[in-house]
């Protein structure tokens, strides 16, 4: 035992009891997932916003309130609904006492999202400023908090405001550090609420979000190419489904429970995938392969269940096996619905049925053409995993090679020196490294045959375990880690092209990132600053003085493992690869990777000019 260990004591003084806000602030990840700076759609600041809006949606679902207004300016968030308002005598309790809320009473909230009484309290505890106002029957109750501490409990006053609740909060920079709301992520969140609540209007800084056709609108807005047939839209009690097929590879699903987007799927999504295959087989009387039936599918499914069980507080994956008090399983509930409604729809629309079957037969032909190549590719991948060190896996996969969790990360690097540095600096528990050998192939316009014929692509696909879709994705975060020079940018673009071409759902579901690494190191004898831009370098020089030593990192291989640990740890900077609402994958790939050389050259020249001007300023 070391000298330090002999000095450790374990007495009554070591036992602490944390109050509700201390525990949330000490372990925020338990309540809102990862913290982040707002770059990713699942960063904590969006979870805070969602938790507040969830309460508004639950009020609307119970028949109270037809609009929700969200205002975000200068880091402050305001959410106003027009429901019944929090009972005036319980306003403080509802936002500051764990396990307090109306959602435990199923008579009031039968199919709500937030059932554990934590959400709004987490927002309160993780905000420097938090205020709640409840308006009921011409009376208003207001309370103010700072980091969960009650600062003002005001008396009732008269008001002309309509019934409802106003929540105002400012995320705490002690917790979230440098953060900012990216409006595209907020807009996506509000659109999801709009698609699932067609009688509700949401407003963001005055802009209206309203859907008339629910999940059909969602698919219409998300689809990249012309679908093979008009979108199939089915509505039932406590279930809504929209389905289409395109010529794209893979399967693309968006699933929801009680208005909650579940990006990691869960029992309802699995039940839909299985039920859809059974119904299609029965309809055509053919035992088609499941992968052929679902090849190129684009689907959205929403269910409502009583007292849903999620696998975490952030509610990204459903764990419930049944739908309500009668204990009907989700599998049978979704199958019965599709067997009745989808079967009837296809009988009434024979042309759509014919187009659907044509797409299945296309997938079948492609699968058979690839059969021999895939067998050889699997054998090659299996052999390479034994003799090749391209993949340095993380420990969470030692017990189960297909295990995954929200923290698991795969870094894709190029070159022995860069992959060596990351490998030595990584967290071996959750971070893995895949080493490329030179520049990958430009896969634009190629068929999926190349994924199996090209060793790099074949091994990368095997490492990620995404051949049959994202259901078994081994890493939640797939991070492209290349040099910030021309060659590195080219490799980055080639990898993004590969994923967009063959696994677009990996990008759409927010799993693909680009690692930011510092361009400069500015230091003196006492302090070291790592700078990611010219502006940060100038700021560091102002702090340290003109005699500070400046190092320009030309590549990842120049960064020592000790230094790399700063960049891939808690303070890791990741840029998510985001496809904007107006972007179309086919058009985007054609522009960047196709043969339209003059257009692309002009684009590069213009953007280089903008970058140059920004640096000079």
pLDDT, one tens digit per residue, over 124-165 is 999 999 999 999 999 999 999 999 999 999 999 999 999 999
Distance CA 248, CA 226 (A): 10
Judged against a pLDDT cut of 80, whether residue 90 lies above it is answered with yes
pLDDT above 90 covers a percentage of the chain that reads 39
Look at strands 409-414 and 477-481 and give their pairing: parallel
CA 220, CA 489: separation in Å to the nearest integer? 33
As a whole number, mean pLDDT of residues 213-219 equals 96
What DSSP character marks residue 508? H
Could you read off the pLDDT of 464-498 as tens digits, one per residue? 988 877 878 889 899 999 887 778 888 888 898 89
Contact 512, 499 (CB under 8 A): yes
C-beta separation of 299 from 241 below 8 A: yes
The reported pLDDT for the residue numbered 52 is 93
pLDDT at residue 1 greater than cutoff 50:
no
Does residue 571 register a pLDDT over 90? no
Question: For residue 249, how far is the Cα from the chain centroid?
Answer: 21
Q: How many helices (H) and strands (E) does the chain have?
A: 23, 23
pLDDT at 4: 33
What are 201's strand-pairing partners? Answer: 67
Average pLDDT over every residue of 219-224: 86
**Phi/psi of residue 214, nearest 5 degrees:** 55, -130
Residue found under tokens 């199923």: 106
Instruction: Look at residue 102 and give its three-state secondary structure.
Output: helix
The pLDDT, as a whole number, for residue 322 is 73
Segment 19-43 shows an average pLDDT of: 81
**Letter string b/e over residues 152-170, b meaning 16 or more CB atoms within 10 A of that residue's CB:** eeeeeeeeebebbbbbbbe
Count Cβ atoms below 10 Å from residue 2 Cβ, excluding itself: 6
* Tally of CB atoms within 10 A around 313: 18
Q: Report how far apart the first and last C-alpha atoms of the chain are (Å, whole number).
A: 58
Strands, DSSP E only, in 358-476? 391-392, 409-414, 431-436
CA-to-CA distance for 215 and 222, rounded, in angstroms?
A: 10
Are the C-beta atoms of 240 and 254 separated by less than 8 Å?
Answer: no
Residues 217, 196 contacting (CB under 8 angstroms)? no
Residue 232's pLDDT is 97
Q: Retrieve residue 543's tokens.
A: 């702090």
Q: Is the pLDDT of residue 508 over 50?
A: yes
At residue 564, the pLDDT reads 84
pLDDT at 166 (0 to 100):
97
- Which regions of 172-305 does DSSP assign to beta strands (E)? 201-204, 207-209, 232-236, 239-245, 252-257, 260-261, 297-303
pLDDT score of 469 = 78
For 243, the 3-state DSSP assignment is strand
Residue 545: what pLDDT? 82
Nearest to 370 by CA among 465, 430, 452, 304: 452
48 three-class SS: helix
Going by pLDDT thresholds of 50, 70 and 90, the confidence category of residue 205 is very high
Query: How does DSSP classify residue 211?
Result: -
Kindly tell me the sign of the dihedral angle through the C-alpha atoms of 454, 464, 496, 371: positive
> Token digits for 280?
């299609």
Average pLDDT over residues 49-76: 92
Calpha distance 355→490 (Å, rounded): 39
The DSSP letter of residue 47 is H
Residue 127, beta-bridge partner list? 171
C-beta atoms surrounding 230 within 10 Å:
12
Instruction: Using alpha carbons only, give the angle 180, 186, 191 rounded to the nearest 5 degrees.
Output: 175
54, pLDDT greater than 60: yes
Mean pLDDT, the chain, whole residue set? 83
User: By three-state DSSP, how is residue 117 classified?
Assistant: coil
* Cβ proximity of 120 and 51 under 8 Å: yes
Tell me, what's the pLDDT at 612?
Answer: 38
From CA 361, how far away is CA 365, in angstroms rounded?
6
Domain architecture of the chain: domains with CATH = 21-209 (3.30.565.10), 215-365 (3.30.230.10), 388-517+557-583 (3.40.50.670), 520-552 (no CATH)
Alpha helix positions (H), 532-573? 534-544, 561-567
Q: Decide: 34 and 177 in contact? Cβ < 8 Å.
A: no
Q: What is the mean pLDDT of residues 597-605?
A: 56
Q: Is 432 helix (H, G, I), strand (E, B) or coil?
A: strand
Residues 6+ away with beta carbon under 8 Å from 443: 450, 451, 457, 494, 497, 498, 501, 502
Say if residues 394 and 536 touch (Cβ distance below 8 Å): no
The DSSP line for 517-534 is: --SEEEE-SS-EEEESSH
* Concatenated DSSP letters of 138-173: TEEEEEEEETTEEEEEPPPEE--PPSEEEEEEEE-H
Q: How many CB atoms lie within 10 A of CB 94?
A: 21
| pLDDT above 70 coverage of the chain, percent | 83
Confidence band of 294 (pLDDT split at 50, 70, 90):
very high
Contact 86, 94 (CB under 8 A): yes
């Amino acid at each position: 035992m070391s000298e330090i260990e002999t000095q450790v004591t374990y007495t009554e003084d070591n036992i602490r009891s944390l109050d509700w806000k201390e525990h949330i602030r000490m372990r925020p990840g338990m309540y809102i997932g990862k913290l982040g700076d707002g770059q990713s759609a699942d960063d904590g600041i969006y979870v805070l916003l969602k938790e507040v809006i969830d309460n508004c949606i639950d009020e609307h679902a119970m028949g109270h309130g037809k609009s929700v207004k969200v205002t975000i300016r200068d880091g402050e968030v305001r959410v106003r609904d027009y429901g019944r308002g929090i009972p005036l005598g319980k306003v403080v309790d509802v936002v500051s006492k764990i396990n307090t809320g109306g959602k435990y009473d199923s008579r009031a909230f039968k199919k709500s999202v937030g059932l554990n009484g934590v959400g709004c309290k987490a927002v309160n505890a993780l905000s420097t400023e938090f205020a709640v106002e409840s308006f009921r029957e011409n009376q208003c109750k207001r309370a103010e908090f700072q980091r969960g501490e009650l600062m003002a409990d005001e008396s009732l006053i008269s008001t002309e405001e309509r019934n409802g609740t106003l929540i105002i909060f400012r995320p705490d920079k002690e917790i979230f550090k440098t953060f900012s709301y990216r409006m595209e992520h907020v807009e996506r969140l509000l659109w999801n609420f709009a698609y699932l609540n067609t009688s509700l209007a949401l407003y963001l800084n005055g802009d209206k979000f309203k859907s008339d056709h629910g999940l059909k609108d969602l698919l219409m807005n998300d689809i990249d190419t012309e679908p093979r047939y008009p979108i199939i839209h089915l509505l039932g009690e406590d279930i809504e489904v929209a389905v289409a097929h395109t010529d794209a590879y893979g399967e693309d699903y968006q699933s929801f429970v009680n208005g909650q987007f579940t990006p990691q799927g869960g029992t309802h999504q699995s039940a839909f995938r299985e039920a859809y295959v059974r119904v299609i087989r029965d309809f055509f009387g053919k035992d088609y392969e499941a992968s052929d039936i679902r090849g190129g599918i684009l689907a959205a499914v929403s269910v409502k269940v009583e007292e849903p069980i999620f696998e975490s507080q952030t509610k990204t994956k459903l764990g419930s096996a049944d739908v309500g008090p009668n204990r009907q399983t989700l599998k049978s509930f979704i199958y019965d619905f599709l067997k009745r409604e989808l079967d009837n729809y296809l009988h009434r629309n024979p042309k759509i049925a014919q187009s659907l079957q044509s797409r299945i037969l296309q997938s079948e032909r492609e699968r058979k053409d690839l059969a021999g190549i895939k067998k050889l590719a699997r054998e090659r991948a299996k052999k390479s995993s034994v003799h090749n060190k391209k993949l340095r896996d993380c420990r969470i996969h030692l017990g189960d090679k297909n295990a995954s969790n929200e923290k698991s990360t795969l870094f894709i690097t190029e070159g022995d020196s860069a992959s060596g540095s990351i490998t030595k600096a990584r967290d071996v528990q959750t971070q893995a490294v895949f080493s490329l050998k030179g520049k990958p192939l430009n896969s634009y316009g190629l068929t999926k045959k190349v994924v199996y014929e090209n060793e790099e692509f074949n091994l990368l696909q095997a490492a990620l375990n995404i051949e049959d879709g994202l259901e078994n994705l081994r890493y939640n975060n797939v991070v492209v880690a290349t040099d910030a020079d021309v060659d590195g940018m080219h490799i980055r673009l080639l990898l993004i092209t590969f994923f967009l071409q063959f696994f677009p759902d990996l990008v759409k579901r927010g799993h693909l990132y680009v690692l930011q690494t510092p361009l400069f190191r500015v230091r003196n004898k006492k302090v070291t600053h790592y700078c990611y831009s010219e502006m940060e370098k100038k700021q560091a020089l102002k702090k340290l003085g003109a005699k500070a030593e400046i190092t320009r990192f030309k590549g990842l291989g120049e960064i020592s493992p000790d230094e790399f640990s700063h960049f891939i740890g808690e303070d890791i900077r990741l840029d998510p690869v985001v496809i904007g609402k107006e972007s179309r994958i086919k058009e985007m790939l054609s522009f960047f990777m196709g043969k339209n050389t003059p257009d692309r050259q002009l684009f590069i020249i213009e953007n280089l000019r903008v970058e140059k001007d920004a640096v000079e300023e």
